[in-house]
Chains A and B, each alone.
Chain A
Amino acid sequence: MKKFVALAFGAAVGISATAASAATLDDVKSRGELHCGVTTGLPGFSAPNDKGQWAGLDVDLCRALSAVIFGDANKVKYFPLSAKDRFPALQSGEIDVLSRNTTWTSSRDSSLGLNFASPNYFDGQGFLVRKDLNVSSAKELDGASVCTQTGTTTELNMADYFRSNNMKYEPVAFESNDAVVQAYDAGRCEVLTSDASQLYSLRLKLANSEDHVVLPEIISKEPLAPAVRHGDDQWFDLVKWTLYGMINAEELGVTQANLEEMKKSDNPDVKRLLGVDGNFGEQLGVSNDWVVRIVTAVGNYGESFERNVGTGSPLKIERGLNKLWTQGGLQYAMPVR
């Protein structure tokens, strides 16, 4: 019996010792699949399609990451997470990367122990209302009941906005986006507030989406970025540069269609990016053709955007702030050098 206790004790301590020191990239490689935290279903960003495969802008990042690590974009296991579950899931090590339209804020960066790669979508919070209320501005919403999802930055921004404009309101907070939409549709509130990108996608879930309109005001900055845990810089770098790789590919004009031609390009930037010159991939801990793998799997950032949320999708969201910096937007990737 005592022997057994000693064994059990040793085993337990042993597990905790080995597990804590393992690096995420090695974990992922030995496991053979990437664990990626996504939404429970937000068309355009991450949602299962008719065939049950996950697709969307956030999903593309995980697919790109999987392609970089394994050379195969499909070695990803998706973990649908509610807003409340997402941080504990990342903290506990259940997922390796959280790619779930998560706003980058200082407190999340510090006290929640997250590292945000770089925004893959610059968003802002907006309001959805019924057309027949004849409201044209958020400033007219005094006294309204506002439905929102609990545990989001949205809930906090809304409080700030109504207070700073001296308006009264009633917050009605629900657990899941579905519950929010259903309550709004049933008339529990006049207003639904969320990130503007989400409003377009949630509107598709309403019974008569034509009867609802997104108000022009954007009341907050919501830089949505993929996140990883504190304490593993190598993994953090890899996630960050996977996204930069997508953006750089767009900036240098590398697309899925012209990938083979671009490999022969004389442009030194392109050569470095595609691993023709230098060993920048190996420095990151993966193979040198990492950007080639990304573009083959999901295309460059612009292609991914258009396919999932842009004009090529039912959402039809304008690029707006998410244009490249060269075209007057905010998407700016650090150079590969």
Chain B
Amino acid sequence: MSVQEGISPSPSTGDSGRVSLVNNPRVRGFIFQLITAIIIAVVLYIFVTNAQTNLRSQGIATGFGFLDQPASFDVNQSLIEFTQNATYGRVLLVGILNTLLVAAVGIILATIIGFMVGIARLSPNWMVRTLGTIYVEVTRNLPPLFQIFFWYVVLIKFSPSPRDSFSLFNAFFYSNRGLYMPSVVLGNGAIFIELSIVIAVVLALVVRYWARKRQEQTGEQFPVLWTAIGLIIGLPLIVSAIFGFPITFDVPELGGFNFRGGTRVIPEFVALTWALSIYTAGFIAEIVRAGIMAVSHGQTEAAGSLGLRPGPTLRLVVIPQAMRVIIPPLTSQYLNLTKNSSLAVAVGYPEITAIFAGTTLNQTGQAIEVIAITMCVYLTISIVTSIFMNWYNRRVALVER
């Protein structure tokens, strides 16, 4: 529209007063914005009035009152108590928690696999390099939904039925109903054990702080990792020994069709998390590789000439510098994984899209409210993750002096 006006040559000779008003960039900008604002407002107005007419003429209920209604359907995995009287609000909460669970486990797994493959792709060993390349090319070039379906079928078809399940120590059982594990039952005095775990973690952090100070002053290193592991495992062990082991385990046992007791990981969760981790790890591997390659080779050589072995060189010199390049794209991969967890809907894992945007939408019919809430939840997760990663990014960013 304003192209026509823009073409007209306006040799403004410095005297802006003589330029016609249509050619004044400020006026034109203002008009252009006004038009945009009007168009947006009109579209919104049409949407809202149409929605009102449609909802009224079809007699669809509106408002968020449905969140207090009883849901009266069940879900097969819930991190919080989910009973008969659970409301749709509770369903939302269960969905969010299940989404976060997949995201958390998936991110950890994808990061581990991704770093391993990324480093493998830079290995001097041709064989390792090639395997890394194949992994990256295959996982990145197949749709995630395809991979989820595939792993789910593999998991269901190749796993034994509950009666012939694989078992380990007669306490862990694996079948096509998932993995059954003993669950912890806390007895009297168990509170002290929980307390001791907290204390152990705090102590480990203190040791780490001290070790770092000492290294900065004397250059001597201290085996922080082993100390921390020893503390976190050892202290609770000692405390529970003092209280006569108040912890018992509820071991799953076969009863009727399925196992009873213990805790359980459902196959839908395994298939989803595994497939998403494998898929995202392919992208993370490429990010890691690019990050490491961005660190000048001089750094490696310098570390070598100081006498560092390849392992510590990677850990202490290369990766900390590579992290600066790696973190921004890594953040978006984490967000992608979280968003891709919505594909759970395909294998029936009860996360927010499946049980809230799916089942709840269907039982209540309140499409606008349900989808708006779902989108808000994902937006919130995205924003919170971005804020956290930006904070971390600032921490590791190069401090210019």
Residues of chain A whose beta carbon lies under 8 Å from any beta carbon of chain B: 1, 5, 8-9, 12-13, 16, 20, 83-84, 87-88, 91-92, 110-113, 133, 141-145, 150-151, 155-156, 158-160, 163, 168-175, 179, 183, 186-188, 190, 229-231
Contacts and interface: CB of A to CB of B under 8 A. Distances in A.
Contacts, number: 127
Contacts of B367: 88
A144 B57 contact: no
Contacts of B53: 16, 20
B257 A144 contact: yes
Given A12-B46, A186-B153, A230 B75 contact: no
B121 interface: no
Given A111-B60, A155-B359, A230-B57, 12 more contacts: A12-B42, A84-B358, A91-B60, A112-B60, A113-B59, A143-B257, A150-B359, A151-B359, A159-B74, A173-B354, A175-B358, A230-B59
Q: B-side binding surface: helix, strand, loop or mixed? A: helix
Chain B: number of interface residues, binned into ranges: 35 or more
A171 B74 contact: yes
Contacts of A83: 362
30 contacts: A1-B35, A8-B42, A16-B49, A87-B362, A111-B364, A112-B60, A113-B58, A113-B60, A141-B257, A143-B255, A145-B177, A145-B258, A151-B362, A156-B73, A160-B72, A168-B260, A169-B74, A170-B76, A171-B74, A172-B268, A173-B76, A173-B359, A186-B157, A186-B176, A188-B156, A188-B267, A230-B57, A231-B57, A231-B58, A231-B59
Nearest to B83: A163
B58 A171 contact: no
B348 A173 contact: yes
Decide if the interface of chain A is mainly helix, strand, loop or mixed.
mixed
B46 A16 contact: yes
Contact of A9 (B42, B72, B348): B42
B238 interface: no
Given A5-B38, A113-B58, A143-B257, A150 B176 contact: no
Nearest to A191: B257
Contacts of B346: 175, 179
Q: Give the 8 A-B residue pairs with the shortest CB-CB distance, closest first.
A: A151-B362, A113-B59, A113-B58, A143-B256, A112-B365, A230-B59, A111-B61, A186-B156
Nearest to A188: B156
A113 to B, nearest CB: 3
A229 B345 CA distance: 28
Nearest to A169: B74
A12 B256 CA distance: 62
Contacts of A169: 74
A140 to B, nearest CB: 9
Nearest to A133: B257
Contacts of B42: 5, 8-9, 12
Interface in B45-74: 46, 49-50, 53-54, 57-61, 72-74
B39 interface: yes
A263 B268 CA distance: 61
Given A16-B49, A156-B73, A188-B267, A110 B59 contact: yes
A156 B72 CA distance: 6
Contact of A230 (B38, B39, B58, B345): B58
Contacts of B168: none
B385 interface: no
Given A159-B74, A171-B73, A188-B267, A87 B46 contact: no
B54 A91 contact: yes
A5 B258 contact: no
B84 interface: yes
A107 to B, nearest CB: 8
A16 B50 contact: yes
Nearest to B46: A12
Interface string B336-369: 0000000001111010001000110111110100
Contacts of A141: 257
Nearest to B58: A113
A159 B76 contact: no
Contacts of B306: none
Contacts of B74: 155, 158-159, 169, 171
A232 to B, nearest CB: 9
B176 A187 contact: yes
Contacts of A111: 59-61, 364-365
